[in-house]
Amino acid sequence: MRKSRRLVRKTPLLAISMGDPAGIGPEVVLKSIASFAKRNDRPDFLAIGDLGALREAANKIAAAPHPVEWHRGDALPSNALGVLALSALAPDQRRPGHPGRAGGAASFEYVETGAKMAHDREVDALVTAPISKEWWHRAGHHFPGHSEVMAKIGRSKNWRMMFAGSELRLALVTVHVGLAKVPRLLTQKNVFDTIEILDRHVRANEGAVRPRIGVLGFNPHGGENGLFGDEERRIIAPAIERARQRGIDAFGPLAPDTAFVKHKGRFGFDAAVTMYHDQGLIALKTLEFDRAVNVTIGLPFVRTSPDHGTAFDIAGRGVANPSSMISAIEYAWRIVKAREAAGKRAA
């Protein structure tokens, strides 16, 4: 059995990877942590990143926590933000709005280290600030994004990307692939697994007893009985039936163009499964761009992130909106507390 290396403490510890040093990551991390300062019930924080970049950002933000270097084995600072400093980038390598290979390589190390710490229970959850996939690739790290790194470290073959807002939550069957590749990736198993993983997550972490899972179709109008494609009756409907046989309250396939229409102010489901990225994300970002959270479900540890990118064009100006990062922290924190409460009840 893997031994825990977590620090002795009374409150949950959330690690936050800083993201690309040239992006808005340092700014939204500090603004988000500052927003928790006056709350009576709050987690402890540990930043993973570049001390110089965080200090420069802190100098531009009112009431920002003071970043100080932290080393494994040390107590967390009580009146400052502990930073596990994995890089010491030169000023030109962390210049806001000017990404490069050094920053791409450093941001990958922040994420990889944070995921390992979460997996080894050194921290209770990992929240990841935005990285640049382009600069990861240019630095030699050929992952499509955060989630694939999490899955590798967590040894998770069956995971999904879920997105959650205050009104809408959904999971994707396929993620970062071109639309031309989606049909060949839609299988009964992939659709069923997404339904099952989403159902399990919502039950275990959001207190739902039997969540209602709406499953979208793939083709316009749900295929029109095969007129516009047969994926609905050949793949999606059998996957839904299999889920129902397992006790999951799944239904569909829903016509994608009306699936997100509200009735009496509510969606017709507690959570939804969509077949590809934009099918779900257009609705989510239209409704909840500043509040949406990206959650990797199916991992052995908790990982969330804000649902936006590095925003190199506004980096360093002090105008980045931290709302999505705050939501990502709050969602991770709720899961951690729910799991701890469940553990106490089971003890």
pLDDT over threshold 50, residue 106:
yes
302-342 pLDDT tens trace = 999 998 899 999 999 999 999 999 999 999 999 998 887 77
Number of structural domains found in the chain: 2
CA dist 347 and 342 (Å) reads 9
The answer on 293 and 308 residing in a single domain is no
Residue 9 pLDDT more than 60?
A: no
Note the pLDDT of residue 10.
64
Centroid of chain to Cα 147? 8
Task: Indicate which CATH number applies to the domain containing 151.
Answer: 3.40.718.10
Residue 346 is predicted with a pLDDT of: 66
pLDDT tens digit sequence for 155-192: 999 999 999 988 899 999 998 888 999 999 999 999 99
Higher-confidence residue of 41 and 156: namely 156
In 3D space, the residue among 231, 212, 228, 209 whose CA is nearest the CA of residue 220 turns out to be 228
> Do 251 and 307 sit in the same domain of this protein?
no
Residue 310 and residue 225 share a domain = no
Q: Amino acid identity, residue 118?
A: A
Q: At what angle do helices 51-58 and 25-35 cross, to 10 degrees?
A: 60
Q: Domain range for residue 227? A: 158-298
Least confident of 14-23, 32-41, 115-124: 32-41
The whole-angstrom separation of Cα 279 and Cα 231 is: 15
If pLDDT is split at 50, 70 and 90, which confidence band does 207 have? Answer: confident
Query: What's the pLDDT at 4?
Result: 47
Q: What integer pLDDT is reported at residue 3 of this predicted model?
A: 45
Pair 95, 134 in one domain: yes
**Same-domain status, 240 and 340:** no
Q: What is the mean pLDDT of the chain?
A: 92
- Cα separation of 142 and 135, whole Å? 10
d(CA 25, CA 307): 12
- Is 60 exceeded by the pLDDT of residue 6? no
Domain boundary among 261, 281, 298: 298
Q: Are 82 and 3 in the same domain?
A: yes
* Judgement on whether residues 228 and 318 belong to the same structural domain of the protein: no
Amino acid at 67: P
Tell me what pLDDT residue 222 has.
Answer: 77
d(CA 40, CA 33): 13
Same domain, 191 and 65: no
> Which residue matches tokens 């050929």?
142
pLDDT of residue 344: 66
Q: Are 250 and 326 in a shared domain?
A: no
Q: Of 278, 298, 318, which one is at a domain's C-terminal end?
A: 298
- Shared domain check, 187 and 333: no
pLDDT of residue 294: 94
Amino acid at position 24, single letter: I
- Which of the four pLDDT bands, split at 50, 70 and 90, describes residue 1? very low
Indicate if 220 and 312 belong to the same structural domain. Answer: no
**Token digits for 140?**
């030699």
Same domain, 151 and 163: no
| Mean pLDDT to the nearest integer, 36-63 | 93
